[in-house]
Structure 1
């Protein structure tokens, strides 16, 4: 296969030859065109065969890096114009690897795809993990990122076919040394900022949840925008809640800035989030030590400061709700939120916080408000875009088949528990009882006490 430019030129040349043959004109020009065509084809194949450093697939060649430092320059340059999420930014992925990836022995394998002009058209930040069921290939950020996807150039993603990408993907996997037992790429959106995600062209199955976002309509001000999105009755209901809350004190949305203030804020936010999830009977892993390590490292990342959004909604100086978000390429990402349900639960603090953040995003000219992955009711209330999520899985060995079966079973179980309140309550009761059983001295701390101890140790390290 040759480039589009060549195919287009070849088509024009064929038409010219046909016309010239029919009219029996300019035989010298016809001979010259044929010679040029043969010369071009010979030069193209010779260039591909002689350059041993390039791994050529059609019009692409691959280069790969086994550490983040080696890929930093190319990655940071490409992310400026590529279609990507905040979760595929270099700073995000490096923070993830430093705080989480290294702890779980995940080795980076970053693949850059270039066309024959040397222009990067896709960057795939993969990681290799040694598990009890063999070597697994996944995306960097797994476990912390809501979306896992490559960084892609628009034209490349829109024009490559399924068969072409399958061959390219096989070439990408061939750059990995050693045997691969399984590829597991979950949380794959079918589109990346409106551009088709080429990874979703691979064989896949639906993820347990979709993602939801709001694309702001054109409006003169936020009040007009809110009336376009929701009925007048809904906006009046929200206004009444704000009016009732105002009776308790002045309402303000406070942005958290400064290194120390941001670290304190994220630690308090995580503690409050764990309390909210436990009270709601929702299964989660927010109390795991790697979560605190990751968000502490991310908030402290110097190159992420302009993209971090940390807010508290306060009434009379008291915190009602707290949130961590990101801004990237005209989109606000609603990442973690938690609420003071004990003192302000009757005022629907989550609804009020979301409304304030929507107004904040609109007033700053952002195009989208991404509520990320999950099918919660509040996301459906305000979203006007829903993106299907898929999981790409490939098995290459018996160990990989065991790993695949285990993961599919866990996904199925999790989806059933999420859909059944009775099952959720049963599982939470079992977990609470297990949490209170002390079998060995090293398991002396459990639940919230253990989580707060981890946070305290982490904060002392800063």
Structure 2
């Protein structure tokens, strides 16, 4: 590997494992850094207080400074213990739609691929030099292509594309113009009819919740609505996971996030029929949780009406983008013109880690292959993959061994096929 450029080789890298020691310079840096809303200190600190700490997670905060002592980047990592295996991951990854570093202005612009790889090796070497920070593998997931105006330097590693992406809308300056560009005349006519039926049950009001007691009641309602939805869909209720309820109550009432968190409702008469939790960060509004009452009014599209009020709010308050996060739900495609690709990165540092990485990469390659199949075949292949993964969870050691044996057989077959 060639020597790094001067501005990279001069970076001083240090490691912090206690969040309280990083709070001052982290919060100062995030004010002008390019980052996603999920890498704000208060968000990740709440995750660690309510979830990570009880799982035995150790924060590994990497800070890079220039020769003048100015922070150039922060990489919020963590070491999680899963059984006997140590995983180096993003801090709070399970409750972050996007995982990425915080970058100083123009830090990544002009950064060569070999420069960041050299820097990454320096970070890993510093972490591994600490005997208390041992890990077997690296698993960095849901990394976006860009961080603000900069290309994500982590894409210079040997990343794998994810089979899913995220969607956001470019808002423009005028709500009516934006609305007309996104909805056909037939759709507008149908929605006017639905909203008229809503209005027959009482005055329709878009409510921005600001008082602490009202925020708590609205968040409780949102969670209740989501839990009923999970039950109807027969999927896991994420709020059953330890610490999740406390986390959402914490971040929505934390004074440090007062200008970030946006809790809203759509009321019809005395009924609170739709609720939402959004995050306001720089030029982007992110809707991270929303739901509506499964009542007789559900047929009149309260969720759609609430979303339209939120889009209008974002435009009228000067936001340039509206992020509808990960997933390809049809309603997102109706509003969004930007699809953000996401990437993952695996690396093994021990023999135990190599086995796990081999399994995870095999699964990811299978998922990518399935996305390229014709729809009928794709549905069948997904069902087969789900059965395989279920078997992996029930007998992980046997599954890992079988995957590794199959990979070895495939490599031997390729070598034999390549012989003249």
Please tell me the TM-score bracket, short chain as reference. 0.7 to 0.9
User: Which residue is 2:41 aligned to?
Assistant: 90
Residue number among 202, 206, 212 corresponding to 1:249 in the alignment: 202
User: Which residue is 2:140 aligned to?
Assistant: 185
User: Which residue is 1:310 aligned to?
Assistant: 263
**Is the contact between residue 133 and residue 402 of structure 1 (CA under 8 Å) also seen in structure 2?**
no
**Is the contact between residue 172 and residue 315 of structure 2 (CA under 8 Å) also seen in structure 1?**
no
- C-alpha separation in 1, matches of 2:251 and 2:167: 24
User: Which residue is 1:63 aligned to?
Assistant: 14
Residue number among 358, 370, 381 corresponding to 2:323 in the alignment: 370
Aligned length: 373
Shift of 1:340: 0.9
Residue correspondence of structure 1 range 216-295 to structure 2 within 5 A: 216-218=171-173, 221-283=174-236, 285-295=238-248
- Secondary structure at the aligned position of 2:106 is classed as helix
Distance change (3 Å), C-alpha of 1:165 and 1:2: closer
- C-alpha separation in 2, matches of 1:406 and 1:422: 18
Question: Which blocks of at least 5 consecutive residues in structure 2 are unaligned?
Answer: 372-377, 391-420
User: Which residue is 2:349 aligned to?
Assistant: 396
Distance change (3 Å), C-alpha of 1:168 and 1:422: closer
Shift of 1:413: 9.2
**Is the contact between residue 182 and residue 334 of structure 2 (CA under 8 Å) also seen in structure 1?**
no
Residue correspondence of structure 1 range 411-426 to structure 2 within 5 A: 420=379
User: Which residue is 1:383 aligned to?
Assistant: 336
TM-score normalised by L of structure 1? 0.75
Shift of 1:3: 4.0
Shift of 1:394: 0.8
- C-alpha separation in 1, matches of 2:73 and 2:107: 8
Structure 1 residues 85-125: Cα deviation after superposition (integer angstroms, max 9, x where no partner): 11000110111110111011111111111222322221101
Shift of 1:395: 1.0
Distance change (3 Å), C-alpha of 1:409 and 1:347: farther
Shift of 1:256: 1.8
- C-alpha separation in 2, matches of 1:286 and 1:402: 32
Distance change (3 Å), C-alpha of 1:409 and 1:351: farther
User: Which residue is 2:94 aligned to?
Assistant: 143
Distance change (3 Å), C-alpha of 1:308 and 1:232: same
**Is the contact between residue 311 and residue 322 of structure 1 (CA under 8 Å) also seen in structure 2?**
yes
Residue correspondence of structure 1 range 102-113 to structure 2 within 5 A: 102-113=53-64
**Is the contact between residue 47 and residue 247 of structure 2 (CA under 8 Å) also seen in structure 1?**
yes
- Secondary structure at the aligned position of 1:155 is classed as coil
User: Which residue is 1:211 aligned to?
Assistant: 166
**Is the contact between residue 226 and residue 235 of structure 1 (CA under 8 Å) also seen in structure 2?**
no
User: Which residue is 2:121 aligned to?
Assistant: 170
- Secondary structure at the aligned position of 1:103 is classed as helix
**Is the contact between residue 267 and residue 292 of structure 1 (CA under 8 Å) also seen in structure 2?**
no
- C-alpha separation in 2, matches of 1:397 and 1:351: 50
- Secondary structure at the aligned position of 2:59 is classed as strand
Distance change (3 Å), C-alpha of 1:138 and 1:345: same
Instruction: Please identify the structure whose Cα radius of gyration is greater.
Output: 1
Distance change (3 Å), C-alpha of 1:366 and 1:421: farther
Residue correspondence of structure 1 range 345-364 to structure 2 within 5 A: 345-364=298-317
Q: Is 1:72 the equivalent of 2:27?
A: no
Shift of 1:412: 7.9
Structure 1 residues 169-228: Cα deviation after superposition (integer angstroms, max 9, x where no partner): 01111121133311111010111123211112211112231011111124xx31122113
Moved more, 89-98 or 221-230: 221-230
Structure 1 residues 342-365: Cα deviation after superposition (integer angstroms, max 9, x where no partner): 232211222211111101111111
- C-alpha separation in 1, matches of 2:5 and 2:113: 17
User: Which residue is 1:119 aligned to?
Assistant: 70
User: Which residue is 2:253 aligned to?
Assistant: 300
TM-score normalised by L of structure 2? 0.82
Moved more, 95-104 or 237-246: 237-246
User: Which residue is 1:23 aligned to?
Assistant: none
